[in-house]
Amino acid sequence: MARTFDPADPSHTPFNLGVDHTLKLLHRLAPLDVWMLTRIEDNEQIVVRADDHGYGIEPGTAFDWGNSFCIRMLAERGPRIAPDVTQVPAYQEALAAQTDPPAIGSYIGFPVHDREYGMYGMYGVLCAMHPEPVSQAIESRAGEIESAVQVIEALLRQRRHIDELEREREALILEAYNDSLTGTRNRRGWQIALDAEEQRCEDHSLPAGIIALDLDHLKAVNDHEGHDAGDRMIQAAGQALRSASRENDVVARLGGDEFGVLLPETPADYLPEIADRLRAALLAAGVEASIGYACRTFSGSLAAAQSNADAAMYADKRQRRGPSAH
């Protein structure tokens, strides 16, 4: 039975369809058992799309990046095309370091770049593997594989442009959900932005981060200087967070002295630096805050990331108050 087209199915986004067709063509060009587009996050190599004919690998599968062939290929310790991995000591080293290594007799890996993504503009790796060695004639396919990489990089740029247009449209809608005191989004606007970004994360295997902030000493300011002074403190915090955030970030006031910042397409290794920048901006505005952050995991959600960021923020608050605090 023919499969009906469902535009709500994340596999039918232009990016995913384009990558899937490219992987199928690569399989015909170089028929290894699995071709994959992967991205790197923390110490994991996550499969974004896959054309699998034997390994059972699906989107969302995660491999140990530190013990991968690809990290060694990028370090130029092994070739991009290895018809017989038993002839490559670095790849044998990778297999030996894994507790349950897959059967890999041949390997192909080419870096995929995206100047807006991750460390050094590195998105991930287009790679393939096969349980047995293959003919050395496959090395002659390097030019065609490099062309496929360029197609995928063009699809990444197109996907990013579409996402930017979507976020611009959403920003116009979110103008109706502003917090009157700070000019940031209110709780309802935050939830709308969170839901929209969650869909993009699911559709395109994107990372996203959340920073949770809670202002310190607001109660003392209200008690000793009055609520007008407290309001000025909240206003100063909102302005500082908006000024220090990037164009696509969403800043929201979630409660009396609680703020959240949504960081689209932001890998986990960027979060500490961003949190430090926001803290510095707040301090420059005369505001101290407890801060926590977390990244959406591939199998998780932004709601879970927000809960983790909240927990980290409360841990920061306890540490800042010292062990004698209740």
Please, what is the average pLDDT of the chain?
91
Mean pLDDT of the 257-281 span: 95
48 pLDDT tier (thresholds 50, 70, 90) = very high
Interatomic CA distance for residues 186 and 179, integer angstroms: 5
Share of the chain above pLDDT 70, in %: 94
Tens of pLDDT, residue by residue over 63-119, are 999 999 999 999 999 999 999 999 999 999 999 998 888 899 999 999 999 876 554
Assess whether 80 and 217 both reside in one domain.
no
Q: What is the pLDDT of residue 74?
A: 96
- Give the pair of three-digit tokens for residue 202: 């699911």
Q: Check residue 4 and give its pLDDT.
A: 34
Going by C-beta distance under 8 Å and a sequence separation of 6 or more, which residues neighbour residue 291? 211, 212, 213, 275, 278, 279, 313, 316
User: Same structural domain for residues 304 and 191?
Assistant: yes
pLDDT of residue 205: 82
Tell which of 124, 159, 194 closes a domain.
159
Based on the fold, state whether residues 40 and 80 are members of the same structural domain. Answer: yes
One domain, residues 250 and 304: yes
Question: Which range of residues forms the domain containing residue 52?
Answer: 10-159
Task: Band the pLDDT of 303: cuts 50, 70, 90.
Answer: very high
Are 54 and 141 in the same domain?
Answer: yes
pLDDT of residue 10: 52
* Residue 283 placed within a domain: yes
Q: How far apart are the C-alpha atoms of 23 and 217, rounded to whole Å?
A: 55
pLDDT above 50 (res 5): no
Instruction: Look up residue 297 and give its two tokens.
Output: 């995991």
Of 110, 138, 134, the C-alpha closest to 37 is 110
Q: How many domains does the chain have?
A: 2
| 121 and 78 within one domain | yes
DSSP state of 115: T
93 and 152 belong to one structural domain: yes
Residue 169 lies in a domain: no
- Could you write out the DSSP letters of every residue in 56-119? ---TT-EEEGGGSHHHHHHTTSS-SEES-GGG-HHHHHHHHH-SS----SEEEEEEEE-TTSSG
Domain assignment present for 1:
no
pLDDT computed for residue 26 by the predictor: 98
28 lies in the same domain as 146: yes
DSSP 236-299: HHHHHHHHHS-TT-EEEE-SSSEEEEEEET--GGGHHHHHHHHHHHHHHTT--EEEEEEE--TT
In one-letter notation, the amino acid at residue 127 is C
CATH code where residue 14 lies? 3.30.450.40
CATH code of residue 238: 3.30.70.270
Average pLDDT over residues 123-128: 95
Q: Which residues pair with 289 in a beta bridge?
A: 215
Domain assignment present for 168: no
- Of 159, 174, 207, the residue at which a domain comes to its end is 159
The DSSP element (H or E) to which 81 belongs, if any, is strand 81-82
Question: Please, what's the largest Cα pairwise distance for the chain?
Answer: 79
DSSP conformation class of 25: H
Is 167 contained in some domain?
no
In a domain, 245, yes or no: yes
Q: Are residues 32 and 134 in the same domain?
A: yes
Do 77 and 31 have their domain in common? yes
pLDDT digit string, tens, across residues 184-214: 999 999 999 999 999 999 888 888 999 999 9
Residue 41 has pLDDT above 50, yes or no: yes
Is position 154 within any domain?
Answer: yes
| pLDDT of residue 326 exceeding 70 | no
Q: What is the pLDDT of residues 221-267, one digit of tens each?
A: 888 888 888 899 899 999 999 999 999 999 999 999 999 999 998 98
Would you state the pLDDT for residue 325?
A: 41
Residues paired with 44 in a beta bridge: 41, 64
Do 186 and 153 reside in the same domain of the chain?
Answer: no
> What's the distance, Cα to Cα, between the start and end of the chain in Å?
64
Residue at 164 is within a domain: no
Q: What is the pLDDT of residues 131-147, one digit of tens each?
A: 999 999 999 999 999 99
My answer on whether 81 and 191 are in the same domain is: no
Q: Is the pLDDT of residue 60 over 90?
A: no
